[in-house]
Amino acid sequence: MKRIVILLSAFLCVSVILSSCKNSEKTPSEAQPQAEEAIQASEPEAQANDLSRVPVHENTAEEDKVIMDFIKEMFAQSSYTEDEFLEKHCTPNMLAQLKEDYDYEGEGYANWDFRSESNDGFGDNHIINIEKKDGRYYYEGNDGGTKFRNIISAFVKDGVVMFDGITRDITYPVSE
């Protein structure tokens, strides 16, 4: 029995040594991209930095006011939680994002993308500030006591506000 344990231990040690030798055959420049990819994959906010999720739209000053008022009303009424609302006011691009971000079994929309993601409860939900910058709308909100800021792409088509993408503004310090 002792010999079997010793042989198994030796086999395990040899396996570990051989696998580490295979990894050491790579040059540092070959190993570095894999390390960077692993770090990026482990960062849940990596997607939040991607402004390509939020296309730029040029709107008139009048359309900007309509869009900003609509965002305030949508958030105050939690309209974004209703699939019918999303399907009426989101472009196919935005709906695809919301489906991709949905992390439960089955199909659905990640309506929490409109919120802080830090609060699952209800309470004092309102928009604190909205500003337009570089053709995108940055809205700062209070989500049941959690303050956050999102970046959203929007335009007006035939009198209807349409959302075309959304992402977190991770430069904004979320606070509770």
Distance CA 152, CA 53 (A): 9
Say what the pLDDT of residue 1 is. 47
Dihedral sign computed on CA atoms, order 82, 85, 91, 92 = positive
At 101, the amino acid letter reads D
**pLDDT score at 49:** 58
For the chain, which residues make up each domain, given as ranges? 2-42, 46-168
Q: How far apart are CA 25 and CA 88, in angstroms?
A: 55
Tokens of 45: 């906010």
Please name which of 158, 119, 137, 120 lies closest in space to residue 74, comparing C-alpha atoms: 137
Q: Provide the CATH topology of domain 46-168.
A: Nuclear Transport Factor 2; Chain: A, (3.10.450)
Instruction: Please report, in tens digits, the pLDDT of each residue of the chain (176 residues total).
Output: 444 444 445 444 444 444 444 444 444 444 444 444 433 444 444 444 578 899 999 999 999 999 999 999 999 898 999 999 999 999 999 999 999 999 999 999 999 999 987 766 566 788 999 999 989 999 999 888 888 999 999 999 999 999 999 998 988 876 66
